[in-house]
Structure 1
Amino acid sequence: MVNGKEKLIVAIDTNEFDKAKELIDKLEDSVDIFKVGLEQYVATRGKTVDYLKEKGKKIFLDLKFHDIPNTMQSAVRAAVRDNVWLMTIHVSDMEGMRQCAQAAREEADKLGIEKPIIVGVTVLTSLSNQDLQDIGCNMTTEELAI
C-alpha cells in the first residue's frame, strides 16, 4: 500500500541552504521525496542533495539537462552517482534520450543501485505560442507537449 508520504513531492524553492535544511527537517517525518531545482542546486553547490542523502530521502533532481549527447550522458551518470530517484532532461531527440537512459542504466548497474526515473521535458511552462514562433517553431505548446 502506498501512503501519502510516498506520493507527495515537496519542492525546495529557496536558494539558501539553511532555509532548505529547515524545510527538510520540519517535513522529514511526513515527506519522503524532495525536488531540488537548478537555482537551489547551483546556489548551494549541491549541498542540499548531500543533506537529503544523509537523511535517506528520495531526490527529484530537476535540472532539465540539455546539451550535446556526451555532456548529457556525463551529467546523467553524475546524477546516478548521487543516487537521485528522478531527474529531468530536455527532449531534443530520441537518440539522445536513449543514450541518457542507457548511461543511467549502466551507471546504476555498475554501482549496484536502482536506476533512476528519467522524465523528458518537451516544452517549458513559461513559453507561450508566440515565444515558440519567435524562435522559429511552427508548433503550439500543446502540440509540443504531446
Structure 2
Amino acid sequence: MADERIIAALDVRTLDEVKALVGQLGDSIIFYKVGMELFYAVGPQVITYLKSKNKRIFLDLKLHDIPNTVAEGLISLMKFGVDIFNVHASGGFTMLSQAAQRIKEAAHAAGVRPPKLIAITVLTSMNETDWRSLGMTMPIAEQVVNLAKLSQRAGLDGVVASPREAAMIRKACGRDFMIVTPGVRPRGTANNDQSRVAAPAEALRNGANQLVIGRPIYAAPNPKAAVDSILAEIAAV
C-alpha cells in the first residue's frame, strides 16, 4: 500500500506531463497536489484523470477573499470530489469559520463526505527579511502558531506550515489537528525558492501528517527512484 504521508506536487503545466509522471510513479504514490499552475492551465480534466487512476487529490488553490466569496468558491469546487482544499488563514476568523461551516453543510446536503479544509499559515518561501518588509514585528514561527490556533478555533481540519513550525503547532493544537508541510527537501537536493525547509523524516518527527514534495520528485532524473529513496528514509518514522 502506498504511503499517504507523501503528497507529490504536480507543479507542471500539461496533462501529458501529469500522465507521464503518474505513470512512472505507479502505485508508489497515491496522493497528488494540483496547484494553480496546473489547474489554471488544464482545468478540471486533471482531476478527472487522477480520479480515474484512483488517486487522492489535494487541490491547492489557496483561496483568500471576503467570507462569502471564499465559501461559495469552495462549494463550487466541491463538485470535483477532491480530498483536501485550502484557504489563507490570514483571511481572518470570519472567513475561515464561514468556509468550514458552509462546506460541511453543503456536503451534508449532497450526501457526501466533506473534504478536509486546511489553512495556509505563512508561505514556506518567506524568510525573516521578507517577513519584516511587510511590517511584521513578531517572528514568523510565532505568527504561524497564532494562525494555526485561529484556524482550529474556526473549525478547520488543519493547516499548511513549514516543517520547522510543525512541532510548535502540534504542541499548541493537539494530535488530531492536521499539519501538511511543503518545504520538504530530501538530503542532497536544492532548496530552490523555499526558505524554511527540513528533510522528510525530520518533518514527520516534528509532527507533520503529510509532506508535499514537488521538484525533488518531478525534476529528478528518475522520479520513481527519488520517491523510493524518500519512502526508505521515512519508513521507520
Taking structure 2 as the reference length, what is the TM-score of the superposition?
Answer: 0.56
In the alignment of these two chains, the number of paired residues is 144
2:81 match? 83
Question: CA–CA distance in 1 between the matches of 2:130 and 2:58?
Answer: 28
1:16-65 deviations in Å (ceiling 9; x for gaps): 11011222233343322111111111111232112112323211011111
User: How do residues 67-146 of structure 1 correspond to structure 2 at under 5 angstroms?
Assistant: 67-92=65-90, 93-146=92-145
Cα shift at 1:101: 0.6
Unmatched tracts of structure 1, length 5 or more: none
SS at match of 2:69: helix
* Higher normalized contact order (CA 8 Å, seq sep 6+, divided by chain length): 2
Tell me how large the CA RMSD over aligned residues is.
Answer: 1.7
Cα shift at 1:9: 1.6
Cα distance 1:107–1:25, how it changes in 2: closer, same or farther (>3 A)?
farther
Taking structure 1 as the reference length, what is the TM-score of the superposition?
Answer: 0.88
Cα shift at 1:134: 1.8
Question: CA–CA distance in 1 between the matches of 2:23 and 2:107?
Answer: 28
Is residue 2:2 matched to residue 1:11? no
1:77 aligned partner, one-letter code: I
Is residue 2:35 matched to residue 1:23? no
Cα shift at 1:95: 1.8
Unmatched tracts of structure 2, length 5 or more: 146-237
Cα distance 1:135–1:117, how it changes in 2: closer, same or farther (>3 A)?
same
Say if 1:38 and 1:63, in contact at 8 Å, map to a contact too: yes
Cα distance 1:107–1:136, how it changes in 2: closer, same or farther (>3 A)?
same
SS at match of 2:28: coil
- Percent identity, please: 35
Question: CA–CA distance in 2 between the matches of 1:68 and 1:19?
Answer: 35
Cα shift at 1:73: 0.6
